[in-house]
Amino acid sequence: MGKIADGDVVQLVDTKRRRYQFRVRRGAQFSFHRGVVPHDELIGLEEGSIVTSSHGERLFVFKPTLAEFVLKMRRGAQIIYPKDIAAILMLADIFPGARVLEAGTGSAALTLALLRAVGEHGVVISYEVRKDFFEVARRNIEAFFRNIPENLVLREWNIYEGLAEEDKNLDRIILDLPEPWRVVKHAKASLRDGGILVAYNPSILQIFKLSKRLEKTGGFFLTGIHEVAVRTWEVGQRSIRPEHRMVAHTGFLLAARRLSGAETK
């Protein structure tokens, strides 16, 4: 299960914790400033093994975590960072078997996390209006899963104009859009009672406008607005201290729940 196979994406980590991510291809080689590592030497190794480059550099061999893959993958649109993805999964209460719609797909960072969270019995429906982003997202999904999962529905679609007729009775809707307030009426019609809407936006003014549209439209209970900051720490031989740089503001998250039809009449 943990062995490296031909076609896997791997991550080598050097003694200074620099990470090098690439796909293993039989007969190919990885070259960097500290030498060369033939891909054939990686195939069949257990994760956590150590290889030595042609210049004597020792490297740890791992398959990248989802967070590590997301930070290195090809980008079309700006990605949602792992810290915010983690918060979205919790705020939206994504569960195995859930029927989830996201818009827009962007580079597919959140799409990958949603697919893992809903499991093989859930469904992820992803809308993206821009063809160039759509193609980048498709390639990233194929790179991570080695195919397009059967429970993923990709739609090249403008969600501002409404949802596809079959995309109803949704458990969750996740929005990463410039104008999420334009989706409120569609979300109200498509979310099941008790369903959750989560929106991610870089500006608090966007979140404020969305909150006012939810209030005006009715049928939603605002559960919270959040901002996530993460600070890592550096462990030295004789000290431990916070990193000089940290991932502070990236965006704001708004979460709301769909009220039952009986309660909104």
Judge whether residue 1 has pLDDT over 70.
Answer: no
User: What are the domain boundaries of the chain?
Assistant: 9-64, 68-263
pLDDT digits (tens, 9 = 90+) for 219-240: 999 999 999 999 989 888 889 9
Give CA torsion, residues 200, 116, 1, 145, to 10 deg.
-80
pLDDT digits (tens, 9 = 90+) for 60-118: 999 999 999 999 999 988 899 999 999 999 999 999 999 999 999 999 999 999 999 99
pLDDT at 78: 86
Judge whether residue 184 has pLDDT over 60.
Answer: yes
Q: Give me the chain's average pLDDT, please.
A: 95
Tokens of 117: 């969270």
Span 30-59, average pLDDT: 96
pLDDT at 263: 58
Of the given ranges (51-65, 163-177, 179-193, 231-245), which has the lowest mean pLDDT?
A: 231-245
The whole-angstrom separation of Cα 61 and Cα 64 is 9
User: Among 3.40.50.10320, 3.10.330.20, 3.30.2020.30, 2.60.40.1260, what is the CATH number of 9-64?
Assistant: 3.10.330.20
Q: Give the percent of the chain with pLDDT over 70.
A: 98
pLDDT at 76: 86
The whole-angstrom separation of Cα 12 and Cα 35 is 13
Nearest to 89 by CA among 193, 178, 200, 163: 200
pLDDT confidence of 167, banded at 50, 70, 90? very high
pLDDT at 264: 54
pLDDT confidence of 262, banded at 50, 70, 90? low
10 Å CB burial of residue 32 (0-12, 13-18, 19+) is middle
Q: Domain 68-263, what architecture?
A: 3-Layer(aba) Sandwich (3.40)
